[in-house]
């Protein structure tokens, strides 16, 4: 892939790898060890410039001062995945939903919950697009590509879990 910009940012959940397109829209936010996470590729351009706003907003989020990101996003995925990812944007800070609730929000049947889970697991924009707010129907901390420990830390930061 050409014309990919990247930068690393320090965070309380480990170093973050951010990528953006030439217009500055975020295309991914990955953490070390992430299932399906990105790695820097040959030809990518290391440039912190496109990530100033993301860095400022992430710092404010981790400081407990920001509850909603306002960044241009350009994640690539199927129409179904895009629909699921957009539904994540509507899950409020400090709250959780189940995979079944996301399925209902996008108008698919209970039988599609597994597909919804797959789309959530493929979310390339961890933290910014809050897949960490989706939990199992029984309240379990299941299925976070960045690791369950990070999911718990993020939900605790947001006040969705007792610290």
Residue-wise pLDDT for 28-62, tens only, equals 999 999 988 999 999 999 999 999 999 999 999 99
Verify whether residue 131 is a known catalytic residue: yes
Is residue 26 within 8 A of residue 19, CB to CB? The reply is yes
Q: Which member of 71, 73, 87, 131 is catalytic?
A: 131
pTM: 0.94
Per-residue tokens: 12: 């309380």
Per-residue tokens: 111: 């039988």
The pLDDT assigned to 152 comes to 96
For residue range 85-144, what is the model confidence (pLDDT) as tens digits? 999 999 999 999 999 999 999 999 988 999 999 999 999 999 999 999 999 999 999 889
Q: Which residue has the tokens 């707010």?
A: 133
């Amino acid at each position: 892939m050409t014309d990919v910009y990247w930068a690393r940012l320090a965070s309380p959940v480990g170093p973050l790898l951010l990528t953006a397109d030439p217009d500055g829209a975020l295309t991914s936010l990955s953490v070390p060890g992430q299932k399906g996470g990105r790695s820097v590729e040959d030809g990518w351009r290391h440039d912190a410039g496109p990530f100033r706003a993301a860095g400022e907003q992430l710092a404010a989020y981790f400081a407990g001062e920001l509850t909603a990101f306002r960044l241009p996003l350009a994640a690539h995925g199927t129409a179904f995945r895009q629909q699921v990812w957009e539904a994540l944007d509507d899950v409020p800070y400090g709250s959780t939903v189940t995979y079944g609730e996301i399925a209902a929000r996008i108008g698919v049947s209970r039988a599609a919950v597994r597909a919804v889970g797959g789309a959530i697991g493929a979310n390339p924009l961890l933290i910014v697009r809050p897949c960490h707010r989706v939990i199992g129907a029984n309240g379990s901390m299941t299925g976070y590509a960045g690791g369950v420990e990070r999911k718990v830390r993020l939900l605790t930061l947001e006040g969705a879990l007792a610290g």
